């Protein structure tokens, strides 16, 4: 009998306890109406930055006049991918990226943490430097994802990695939960919500393998 593919949820849970980027809009939900209070239906109301939890960055997040997340090619977020394990909070250097031997059309996800607490915003985290991002784009990667809040350094003001990836046509996923994802080849299913014109959108990211 043929084995059914295993689905692994690599999305962070989202509720009022999760940490958001310092200064950004935290996640908050409340009931607009509730059947427990006599209403015919239960309806919630949410306020949140689209960058909370697992999300996809749009080109317009850093590039003036570029497409919003509702206009991107969703095909980049679905297909074969490779999980690369690189535990640690230091920058991902060009030398490391070269060792990955990225091929044209690949989707690369980096597992940098063995444990993850979405309630705590990390003081330090793994990230790309600009030259590393440029190498990924030049190699023809179609997507880069990471289990941290940003592909750039926390204190970056120039966002070189974001810009190099987006200018090179590389889709970006951030805040993945790869704690249970073994290094190797999988199939990624992670299309972003169709938020027209916005800079990012939440993603329910899955690995199939």
The residues assigned a catalytic role are: 61
> How many C-alpha atoms does 99 have within 13 Å on its Cβ side?
8
Question: What is d(CA 125, CA 134) in angstroms, rounded to the nearest whole number?
Answer: 20
Q: What is the DSSP pairing of strand 107-111 with strand 78-85?
A: parallel
CB 50 within 8 A of CB 38: no
- Cβ contact 81:187 at 8 Å: yes
Dist. CA 154–CA 160, nearest whole Å: 12
């Amino acid at each position: 009998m043929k084995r059914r593919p295993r689905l692994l949820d690599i999305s962070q849970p989202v509720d009022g306890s999760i940490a958001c980027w310092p200064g950004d809009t935290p996640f908050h939900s409340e009931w607009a109406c509730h059947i427990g209070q006599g209403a015919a239906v239960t309806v919630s109301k949410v306020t949140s930055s689209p960058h909370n939890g697992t999300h996809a960055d749009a080109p317009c997040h850093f590039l003036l006049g570029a497409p919003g997340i509702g206009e991107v090619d969703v095909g980049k977020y679905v297909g074969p991918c490779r999980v690369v394990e690189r535990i640690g909070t230091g920058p991902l250097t060009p030398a490391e990226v070269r060792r990955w031997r990225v091929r044209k059309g690949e989707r690369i996800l980096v597992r940098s943490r063995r444990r993850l607490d979405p309630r705590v915003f990390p003081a330090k985290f793994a990230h790309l430097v600009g030259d590393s991002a440029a190498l990924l784009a030049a190699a023809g990667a179609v997507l880069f994802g990471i289990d941290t809040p940003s592909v750039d350094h926390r204190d970056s003001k120039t966002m070189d990695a974001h810009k190099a990836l987006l200018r090179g046509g590389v889709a970006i996923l951030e805040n993945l939960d790869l704690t249970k994802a073994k290094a190797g080849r999988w199939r990624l299913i992670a299309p972003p919500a169709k938020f027209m014109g916005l800079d990012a959108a939440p993603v329910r990211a899955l690995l199939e393998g």
